[in-house]
Amino acid sequence: MGSELSTKGDVYSYGILLLEIFTGKRPTDDMFKEGLSIHNFVEAALPEQVIEITDPILLQERARQGTFTEFTLNDKHLQHLNSIFEIGLTCSAESPTERMDMSDVVSKLCSIRVKLLHPTRVYRERQALYIAQSAGT
């Protein structure tokens, strides 16, 4: 935004990158004009329209298993997608003081990964301990 380079600027860029990856849209897309940005687009859609803004390629495997109507707000995958979008929005907040620290971003994303890939309680507890130890260093 015309300011000096900073880690908060890097956090902003990371947030935009997350939104770009999970929507499949570039911030320079033709649809983002007249005040609409990728940040505003995602913010306006959450949480009710998370499926509509998610890149269809990311949903293909789920689509092969059934229809999109099987997604509900109680579905853990949908909740995790929503959480990832929220992280992207927080990182790309206009004000640098409202942005997350990268250590918090990593912790939250690792937590989502653990819940998706290793749902057993023992593994989650070990991963949480690892994340807590890593955040302290």
- Are 110 and 43 members of one domain? no
- Are 24 and 44 members of one domain? yes
Domain, as residue range, for 73: 1-100
- Which 3-state string (H, E, C) describes 95-125? CHHHCCCHHHHHHHHHHHHHHHHCCCHHHHH
Q: Which of 86, 65, 82, 84 lies closest to 73 in space, CA to CA? A: 82
| Residue range 5-19, pLDDT digits in tens | 678 889 999 999 999
Q: What is the pTM of this model?
A: 0.75
Torsions phi, psi for 120 (to 5 deg):
-70, 145
- Are 66 and 24 members of one domain? yes
Q: Position 3: which residue type?
A: S
Q: What is the CATH number of the domain that holds 43?
A: 1.10.510.10
- Are 81 and 54 members of one domain? yes
Report whether pLDDT(82) > 60: yes
Q: Which of 80, 96, 84 lies closest to 13 in space, CA to CA? A: 96
